[in-house]
Amino acid sequence: MSVIFTGHSVGGSIASLAALYFLCSSSRPDAPSPASLLCITFGSPLLGDETLSRAILRERWGGRFCHVVSQHDIMPRLLFCPVNAVHPRLAMSICSLMQSWHLSMRYPQFPRPALQLTDDQKAELQGHISMHIGAAASEQTQHISPYRPFGNYVLCSAEGAVCIDDPLVAAKMLHLTFTTGSASISFEEQHISYGDLVVQLPQTLQSKRRLHLEEDAPKSNHSAGVSLALEASGIGIQVDH
């Protein structure tokens, strides 16, 4: 028997909690034979701290969790910011975004709310989140949030996707991919467009595969692999320059 938990946004966190409960219950000595389990989340906020992340690694449960994150979605990155470090002005922008997302997902048959953050608000929000993700990625111990990634992260961009199974590397890549965006990026659309992303991703990967098969053979398979991964994550162009 196979069991799959899945969810979008906060629903993804609930799916992760249900999966963790299932895994813990299955690990008891008197538990029946465990079923195959997979938890897939889309744009889910961080759930646990470093202790939970290490425990999942120790139990070898990391492969049971797949967190899909689009390149400029703020929700999976938001809890890198300590709550007491969020300025009230930023907090109001975040609350407005969440209300807009809630209405869009609750009533998809209606036109999306007309809420739009200004370029200055987007730049301020992006800079604030980027600063705190960078602190977590560099393992600074002061003024950072206790939340940490766990499981596998599938980081998606318009160029494809890359999968990361190391929590610290995931934090670093969540930072790098996010900072390639500009204030003109629609934060409103990023978080509620995972359905479109799932449809488009296989087509993008297939077209990329055909393109690279038509190119000359690379001098180094390792170098080619690194280049393709960077390109798929959306940061290849910046790194090359």
Amino acid at 106: R
**Interatomic CA distance for residues 123 and 118, integer angstroms:** 9
What are the structure tokens assigned to 221, written together? 């398979």
Angle between helix 167-179 and helix 221-233 axes, rounded to 10 deg: 60
Who has greater pLDDT, 106 or 60? 60
Please answer whether residues 76 and 67 qualify as being in contact, where contact means their C-beta atoms are separated by less than 8 angstroms: yes
What percent of the chain has a predicted confidence (pLDDT) above 90? Answer: 33
- Mean pLDDT value of segment 214-238: 53
> Cα–chain-centroid distance for residue 227?
21
As a whole number of angstroms, the distance between CA 39 and CA 54 comes to: 18
pLDDT at site 103: 77
Digit-coded pLDDT (tens) for 68-101: 999 999 999 999 998 888 888 888 888 888 887 8
Asked whether the whole model's pTM tops 0.85, one would answer: no
Structure confidence at residue 56 (pLDDT): 96
pLDDT higher than 90, residue 238: no
Please check whether residue 125 is in contact with residue 94, taking contact to mean a CB–CB distance below 8 angstroms: yes
Statement: residue 222 has pLDDT above 50: no
Q: Nearest 5 degrees, angle CA 96-CA 101-CA 105?
A: 155
DSSP symbol at 155:
E
Identify the pLDDT of residue 139.
72
pLDDT tens per residue, range 23-38:
998 887 777 766 789 9
Instruction: Over range 103-120, report the average pLDDT.
Output: 71
pLDDT band at 240 (very low <50, low <70, confident <90, very high): very low
- pLDDT score recorded for residue 118: 77
- Per-residue pLDDT tens digits for 115-139: 567 778 888 888 888 888 888 888 7
